[in-house]
Amino acid sequence: MDVSIVIPLYNEEESLPELTAWIKRVVDANHLTYEIMLVDDGSTDSSWQVIENLVKENPNIRGIKFRRNYGKSAALNIGFEAVQGDVVITMDADLQDSPDEIPELVRMIKEDGFDMVSGWKKVRHDPSLTKNIPSKFYNWMTSKMSGVKLHDHNCGLKAYRKNVVKSIEVYGEMHRYIPVIAKWAGFKKIGEKVVEHRKRKFGVTKFGINRFVNGPLDLMSIMFVSKFGKRPMHLFGSLGAILFMIGLVAAVMIVVQKIYYLNIGIKAPLVTSSPILYIGLTAMIIGTQLFLVGFLAEMIARTSNDRNKYQIDKKTDV
């Protein structure tokens, strides 16, 4: 199968018939074998009834329904597990992503050799204050922190080589940072394509103000797990050792100062009256705690089921 199109959706009953018909026209015109995976994230409207009717009309359409709303990341992860196509395309169900982009995205994966291609909505039709400006800031911050240089990390229209989606896990609200997850899984050929962004035709946006808070937290989680998930002692132990040494140096300074004053016959101030003492003690206590946290995290990591789970790209028989 040439291409699988994964579409997570929540209350998009009006857009689904038009979207699936548009996709069918595009893939048929380009002679691509395909499947459309519609993942209903616990819709409360008649989206699932619409999906069931579409499945009866087109055998290339498949549907998955959650009992309740789990979020876009969960819908994508389930879709990734079920797909069979050599190239996997993800797009939103609200008709703001154009299916006309599919042939070029497939070509970039198959012919140009990209592991992943992310869409870039260079011209957006969203409110500047609530979406455009915050998106530009988060995209800049994500590129700086992760090293993945993209203009639009959160664009729903993306293309993947099949082994990419089979090698990554998307959970929580990590769908915003799939390019970062893919990079840390070893897929480094990540490209970008300017794509059309259309005005919303039906319904309302499903994303609220909470994404401004959750976004940076999710990014920090990815960075931590990617770098230190299998070796947490390297982070906590290093920080703990540094703080403990700072505290120890502070304590030694106070003792040396006390001895020096006594030797030259000057009345030394009380050790307990020095703020350096309390700074040093606090640093030593926090350093010890961080070291213990690292030790416990290391024990947990060593007993986890995936402690020796690594992504293997190629293998030859011996």
Structure tokens at 37: 């995976």
- Which residues face 117 on adjacent strands? 159, 191
Q: What's the CA gap between 268 and 259, in Å, rounded?
A: 8
pLDDT tens per residue across all 318 residues of the chain = 899 999 999 999 999 999 999 999 999 999 999 999 999 999 999 999 999 999 999 999 999 999 999 989 999 999 999 999 999 999 999 999 999 999 999 999 999 999 999 999 888 766 555 566 667 777 887 788 778 888 888 889 999 999 999 998 888 778 888 998 898 888 989 999 999 888 777 766 655 556 556 666 666 776 676 667 667 788 888 899 999 999 999 888 888 888 888 888 787 777 778 888 888 899 999 999 998 888 888 777 667 666 545 455 555 554
**8 Å CB contact between 136 and 150:** no
**C-beta of residue 90 within 8 angstroms of C-beta of residue 9:** no
Query: What CA–CA distance (Å, rounded) separates 64 from 131?
Result: 30
* Closest to 114 in 3D by CA, of 162, 166, 175, 185: 162
Whether the model pTM is above 0.85: no
Single-letter amino acid code for the residue at 95: L
Segment (H or E) for 50: helix 47-57
At position 17, the amino acid (one-letter code) is P
Q: At what angle do helices 211-228 and 133-146 cross, to 10 degrees?
A: 10
In the numeric block, the tokens 């640093």 are attached to 283
CATH number, span 3-228: 3.90.550.10
The gap from C-alpha 192 to its chain's centroid, in whole angstroms, comes to 17
Q: How many CB atoms lie within 10 A of CB 53?
A: 14
Buried b (16+ CB within 10 A) or exposed e, 165-174: bebbebeebb
Domain ranges of the chain: 3-228, 233-303
Q: Which residue has the tokens 């059309």?
A: 196
